[in-house]
Structure 1
């Protein structure tokens, strides 16, 4: 990758991270399967997705590995890829009436729901 291209990608690393994540999903990878395929740890991969890699050299090294696996050109990391549906956002709350104290079953159900949301975040 030439110096000018990597500098542009690095300056737009948050956008690159979002698009990288979308390309990864389009090609059928989960975070875990992609991490294994490109030989980048999940935490580091998450830093790439969030645009939080602070070293341009490290950024370039990982981006080269990813490009080789995904078979995409550098420019594709700058092209927005959001679907018409957009991002899935989840919210849940325990909005019980004043003075209500949830029973053990209700507490357990909210813990399960929270675990499911965290599990989805972990895998996707």
Structure 2
């Protein structure tokens, strides 16, 4: 498998990189340090937004070397982590009709969401 084929499928490759990070218990920051790829560039790789083939090749090669895998294994990576559990929310009928969440409350909910995401990485 060629690096050009990986480049053509960079969205899928990005998803697979994210699955490798999750499956091996890395954070994006720790994976960034391990591979020698800057965090912003790693985020672009994960989103499939690296548009330069030369840049893509350089960084994918670092990932392949750090994980001991080849291009084909990266392209066809099967996640080890469990499928996401869907949560059901029960809402109260007691809330006022025009209720709006305050910006401070929304900020707290966002922090809690980040904490839950971290727990998913380490406890699933």
TM-score, length-scaled by structure 1: 0.73
| Equivalent-residue separation in structure 1 for 2:63 and 2:77 (angstroms) | 18
Gaps of 5+ in 2: none
CA RMSD of aligned residues (A): 3.2
Task: Choose from 113, 117, 121 the match for 1:117.
Answer: 113
| Equivalent-residue separation in structure 2 for 1:114 and 1:35 (angstroms) | 24
| Equivalent-residue separation in structure 2 for 1:18 and 1:43 (angstroms) | 16
Asked if 1:98 corresponds to 2:94, the answer is no
| Equivalent-residue separation in structure 1 for 2:60 and 2:81 (angstroms) | 27
Residue by residue, what CA displacement relative to the aligned partner does 1:63-98 show, whole Å, maximum 9, x if unpaired? 0111111111111121152468434678x9x98422
| Equivalent-residue separation in structure 2 for 1:55 and 1:61 (angstroms) | 10
Residue by residue, what CA displacement relative to the aligned partner does 1:3-61 show, whole Å, maximum 9, x if unpaired? x7011000000001101111122122110100111111111101000110000000000
Task: Choose from 39, 42, 50 the match for 2:39.
Answer: 42
Q: CA deviation at 1:115?
A: 2.0
Alignment coverage as a number of residue pairs: 115
| Equivalent-residue separation in structure 2 for 1:14 and 1:57 (angstroms) | 17
TM-score, length-scaled by structure 2: 0.73
Which stretch of the first structure deviates more once superposed, 58-67 or 23-32?
23-32
Relative to structure 1, the CA distance from residue 101 to residue 68 in structure 2 (aligned partners, 3 Å threshold; closer, same or farther) is: closer
Q: Report if aligned partners of 1:19, 1:77 keep a CA contact under 8 Å in 2.
A: yes
Q: CA deviation at 1:111?
A: 2.4
